[in-house]
Amino acid sequence: MQTAIDYEKYSNMNIRQLTNSLLNAEKKEQKIKAKMFQKLNDTEELIKFLKAKIKENLDKPKNEFFTREQAGLNKIALEVQKQISKEEQERLEAELRDEIQRKYDEL
């Protein structure tokens, strides 16, 4: 929030007071400019960072695929296979063969 400048108070000042006021105003201007440039620089850095992150995400493959070994599926499959009885394994294999050989055009 900026306040209005009271020019009236400067109209009755002597040359020394006016000079001091001018120096103070110039210092204030420099501080404001430095602050503004710092905010601008910070914003530019943020924009660069955000653009880089967006580009990084766009360049990344959409789906990352893993082999069975990388995903640890072989180990899990062996553990599950150990838990299933021989009879159950044979039944599942027969069911799978039947499903593979089924003619789907009858549906």
**pLDDT at site 107:** 54
**pLDDT at site 106:** 61
What are the structural domain ranges in the chain? 11-59, 68-106
Beta-carbon contacts of residue 89 (< 8 Å; ≥ 6 apart):
81
pLDDT, tens digit (0-9, with 9 covering 90-100), for 12-39? 999 999 999 999 999 999 999 999 999 9
DSSP the chain: -PPPP-THHHHT--HHHHHHHHHHHHHHHHHHHHHHHHHHHHHHHHHHHHHHHHHHHHHS-SS----HHHHTHHHHHHHHHHHS-HHHHHHHHHHHHHHHH--GGG-
Evaluate if pTM is beyond 0.85: no
More confidently predicted of 9 and 60: 9
pLDDT, tens digit (0-9, with 9 covering 90-100), for 35-74? 999 999 999 999 999 999 999 888 877 777 888 788 888 8
